[in-house]
Each structure stands twice: as C-alpha cells, then as structure tokens.
Amino acid sequence: MQSLDIASLSAGYGAGTLTPAHVLDTVYARIDQQGERPVWITLVAKADALAQLAAAPKGKLWGIPFAVKDNIDVAGLPTTAGCPDFAYVPSRSAHVVEALQAEGAILIGKTNLDQFATGLVGTRSPYGICSSVFSADHISGGSSAGSAVAVAAGLVSFSLGTDTAGSGRVPAAFNNIVGLKPSKGLLSNRGLVPACRSLDCISIFATTCADALAVLAVTGRPDPEDAFSRSAPQATQTAAWPDGFRFGVPAGRLEFFGDDQAESLFHRAVERLRAIGGMPVEIDFTPFSQCAQLLYSGPWVAERLAAIEDFATARPDCLHEVVRGIILSAKGLSAVDSFKGLYRLAELIRQAEAQWAKMEVLLLPTTGTTYRIDEVLADPVKLNSNLGVYTNFVNLMDLSAIALPAGFRPNGLPFGVTLLGRAFADGKIAALADRLHRALPTATLAATPIPLATTPPIPVDAAAAGTITVAVVGAHLSGQPLHHQLSDRDARLRATCRTAPGYSLYALAKTQPAKPGLVFDGHGAGAIEVEIYEMDAAAFGSFVALIPPPLGIGTVTLADGATVKGFLCESHAIEGATDITRHGGWRAWLASP
C-alpha cells in the first residue's frame, strides 16, 4: 500500500520512483472505491486536480494532495459550512489555502463537518454522518469529521480542519492520526466562516507529527488582512527536551466516563513520557476544567450567533436541530454576561499560572472516551459535552496543543493523548509529541499497516537547542510579580537551591516592584535561596534586555560548587538598602514580621 505521508511522497518524487500524477491516480481510485459521501461535500474533478498539478510551483509541498474543511474558502468552490442554504462561492481562497498552493500542494476537495463547526461528534451534518475509520458504528469526532477521515483513510496526505473547542483534536484521537492545533493567530483565519472568531484556529491533520509541523511551517505566516493574526517567527522551531523535563498530570483520578480501557491507555502514555526523560508533576486541574465549562455555559455562545446572526435569525429552519438550539440560545445573553465571563476567564487564567510554574508541558487524554453514533443521536448535547472536558479550555487560555495516537483498546478502537504548551510553543511540543508517538509499540500510520518507523522523525533545530541556565533571587521567583517574564519565555524550573557562602542579600530602596540585590562580598553567610531556570538562548537574550540597573547578570556560585548565570547587584546600590541576608532569601524576608 502506498503511504501518502509527505516525507515518503517527497522522497519518491525526488528519487524518481513516484510521480504526482501516479499519486493522484491512487487518490481518486481510493475515493471511487469508498464513495464521495459522507467524507466529501465538494470533490475536485480529477481532471481539475491534474490541471492544478500542471500549474503548481515546485515548492516544499509540490504534488502533495490535501483536503480542506468546508468552512474554509477555496476560490470557485462553494463554501457551505455544512448548511446547503448558507452556501456561497468565494472569488478568493483563504490565506492558508493560498499559502499551501503557492508551495505546490494539490487540493482534492472540501470535507464534511458538524454544521457551522458546532460539535465534537461529526453527526450534525445534512451531508451524512462520518464514522471512525476503525468502526462504522462509532463516531469520527467533529466538527472536522471529513478532514480527519480523509487523512486516516489514505485519501490525502494532510488536511485542514478548524479548532475552537477541540475540533482539530477529537477527530484525530478517534482515527489514529495527529491533530495539530496551532497557537491562536499563528494561522490566518481570513477566508474562514467563523464559529467563535476570537478563539478559532485553523488546524492540521496528518499521519505524523513531522508532516503536521511541515504544513504549519508554510502556513504560519502573519496576515495584515486578519485582525487576529499574530507574528511568532520562532513558533515552528524545535528543540531537544532534556532529561528531567517536567510534564503536568492532573492530580487525582481523571474522568473517563466508565471507559477503563481508555484510562489504562492514558496511564501507559504517562509511563512512556517518563521513559523518554520526562518527570511527571501532579497539578491542580481545577482552573482548566472550570474554564472548559465557560465555553458553552458562558457568553462565548453569543460569539457563535454573532458569526451567522443574520442567516440564523432569518432562516432558523435551515439549521440542524441541535446546532440551532445551541446558537439561538445566545439570544438570552447580555453584554453584562459577556463581561462577567471575561472576568471569570481572567481569574482562571491567573489561577492556572501557578500550575504552569510547575510544568513545561501538560499531558491529557484527548477525550475520556468515545461513543457509538446511535448513542450520540439519542443524547447529542450531553455526550458532546463529555468529549470537550479536556479540550474546551485550550483556546480560551491561549495555549498550543497537539493530539497524537496513544494505542488501541482491545476492541480495536484507537485512543489518543494531547500535549499542551504555552502560546507559540508549537514546534517544541510537536517535537516532543513525535518522540512520544514513536515510543508507542508497533505504531502505524492511521488505519494502515505501514510502520511509523518508516517515516523520518522531526529533526531538532540546532539553533534552538542551545539553552542557558539562570538563577533568580527576588521578584522573578515563582509567585512573585515579575515571574511572568520567565513564564512568557517558556523558562523551565530546574531546581530550588541556595548559593555558596560569601553572598549578601539586600532589600533595595525605591524599586517598583520591590526587588532585592545579591552581592558577593566574601562576608555574607551565604545560603541565599535561588530558583534555577533554563531557557532558550534567544529567550534569554530578550529576558536580559528587561533587567534594569542596578541589577545585572553575572556568574553565581551555588552551594554544591556549580556556577550559573544569575542576578547580581552593583555594589553602589546597597547604600541605603536593608541587609536581609540573615533571612536566607527574599520570600523569607517578605514573610517576616
């Protein structure tokens, strides 16, 4: 069986053992055998795909077949958003589609979805219900149902979905593929029918983490035409994860909705991540879970109505029954509700900061369980909500995420996990996800017998691999007012320890926020508490640029004799300062009477 992963096709084209025309023959033969519905809403004719190929530039994705969720514009093809009465034909393609075709990728068609991208199940479409490629009785996941199935069934190399509440991750879990949800604004949403415009992310499905990251690298470009576009030049950089990196795991027993097999597979994923060098750290999942509840019980439902208000108000009978109930429920929300929701979100993000200080990446089940199609049709709202427990909070909290396969239940249904990082950690967590995916025994590509090991891993970016260790002593300590300058740069806490003898600590006068000064004078009792952080070299440079005089970065000797870069104070600044050395550290002095 011919694998359609990007790396294999590009290698075959380069070696002359494959041609894009032959690959398109394979793609259309598979589609003919399977049928257009329910995966496709609009299929590009084979002759038109060959015409694309003839005109395609020989860029990084030359000859690579892909699909697009049908709430993303493609010039000349109808955009339905899963609602025939809403359909229109755009004259211009979405920004991401333009970027892909500029690199030579070949569009095969537009895929089925939960109507107006409202759902995590894949059952809310008049174009038919997609099922998992592993079971005709089980849901495919949504709302990016057709996009995920097209990749998992070997019909395209990669596809574009969207992800507001988890729609780019849940279908990945149910089809044994990778779902990369980029940081908000990294991919332009120009040409996307919005669900929640402030939260929407165009997402990427592929069979490997390397392929997903390759697509991200050519689509993650700033777009002045999208008000929510953000620039992050280093977002696709990868870096080595050193032994001892800390990954968060929620304390206590997670909710698997009675799916003991899924729970067992998650625990195995934790052990695999530990085996490749990670150190599990228990975190309080409460702020994340409470944030997840905001998405549909809070004012963000009103944003879904704002996206299609004129159509939904004028033609409510054209909406899918479940989608109509969700979107039109927003008519009861007020501006006051919106502000209350924003205030609550800010509180939960602040609470989550304390948990992020403990970890560099968060490991979660992508979903706690899966369901049969008939179960979802019988109870469409509750079961959909269950699928969002570990996904709904991610865009609200401005996080990056990548879903990856994590094994199979005894009944043959796949299970997946998700790695989450701070905004613009996309490349770094993709590199770790790739290692975790490859640590899975007998990992294969989607629903094929092709081993994952036949594809190349994500290479570590040598420029990003260099790290610098720095000791902080005062306002940058965890829980202190300037700690965000470290967390914003994805700095990783390595240890809490003390300095060697000879250091004195002073509370400096007239600093805002209050700061201490660490001075080596040879007289101090030493044993001053410090936290040791590690960060990328580029991040360290921008961090140092924030340090005001009289503070600076020098070399600090620790109690065990090791030396690190750390905060030191110019000696003239201790005039008029208070000697607090006897307290043994800044936090101890702040807590003293």
| CATH code of residue 225 | 3.90.1300.10
In a domain, 114, yes or no: yes
pLDDT tops 90 at residue 233: no
CA distance 377 to 449: 32
DSSP state of 348: H
Nearby residues of 200 by Cβ (< 8 Å), 6 or more positions away: 117, 162, 163, 164, 189, 192, 194, 395
In a domain, 1, yes or no: no
Whether the CA torsion 102, 81, 227, 300 is positive or negative: it is negative
Query: The tokens 């740069």 sit on which residue?
Result: 489
The residue that leads in pLDDT, 462 or 394, is: 394
289 and 438 inside one domain: yes
Query: The tokens 């709430």 sit on which residue?
Result: 71
Identify whether the C-beta of residue 74 lies closer than 8 Å to the C-beta of residue 94.
yes
- The pLDDT, as a whole number, for residue 526 is 61
pLDDT digits (tens, 9 = 90+) for 478-518: 889 999 999 888 888 878 888 888 889 999 988 889 999 99
pLDDT digits (tens, 9 = 90+) for 351-394: 999 999 899 999 999 999 999 999 999 999 999 999 999 999 99
DSSP state of 482: T
| Domain total in the chain | 2
| CATH at residue 477 | 3.10.490.10
457 and 472 inside one domain: no
CA distance 69 to 145: 9
Last residue of a domain, one of 400, 434, 462: 462
Q: Which domain holds residue 514?
A: 466-591
Record the tokens describing residue 454, joined without a space: 């036949």
437 and 514 inside one domain: no
431 and 535 inside one domain: no
The residue that leads in pLDDT, 435 or 240, is: 435
446 and 471 inside one domain: no
555 and 585 inside one domain: yes
Mean residue pLDDT across the chain: 94
DSSP state of 390: T
Segment 228-231 long-range contacts (CB within 8 Å, at least 24 positions apart): 228/184, 228/185, 228/189, 228/197, 228/198, 229/185, 229/188, 229/189, 229/190, 230/183, 230/184, 230/185, 230/186
Assign 3-class secondary structure to 402-445: EEEEEEECCCCCEEEEEEEEECCCHHHHHHHHHHHHHCCCCCEC
Whether the CA torsion 137, 141, 146, 151 is positive or negative: it is negative
CA distance 378 to 380: 6
In a domain, 572, yes or no: yes
- The pLDDT, as a whole number, for residue 229 is 96
Taking CA atoms, 528 is separated from 476, 505, 587, 593, in Å, by: 15, 7, 10, 19
351 and 473 inside one domain: no
Taking CA atoms, 18 is separated from 4, 11, 53, 107, in Å, by: 11, 9, 14, 19
pLDDT digits (tens, 9 = 90+) for 71-121: 999 999 999 999 999 999 999 999 999 999 999 999 999 999 999 999 999
Residue 220's pLDDT band, with cuts at 50, 70 and 90, is very high
pLDDT tops 60 at residue 465: no
434 and 476 inside one domain: no
437 and 528 inside one domain: no
Identify whether the C-beta of residue 294 lies closer than 8 Å to the C-beta of residue 344.
yes
pLDDT digits (tens, 9 = 90+) for 185-202: 999 999 999 999 999 999
| Catalytically active residues, by annotation | 69, 143, 167
pTM, rounded to two decimals: 0.82
Report the DSSP beta bridge partners of residue 493: 533
33 and 140 inside one domain: yes
10 and 46 inside one domain: yes
In a domain, 16, yes or no: yes
240 and 228 inside one domain: yes
**H or E element that contains 516:** strand 516-524
In a domain, 574, yes or no: yes
pLDDT tops 60 at residue 221: yes
In a domain, 418, yes or no: no
DSSP state of 16: T
In a domain, 419, yes or no: no
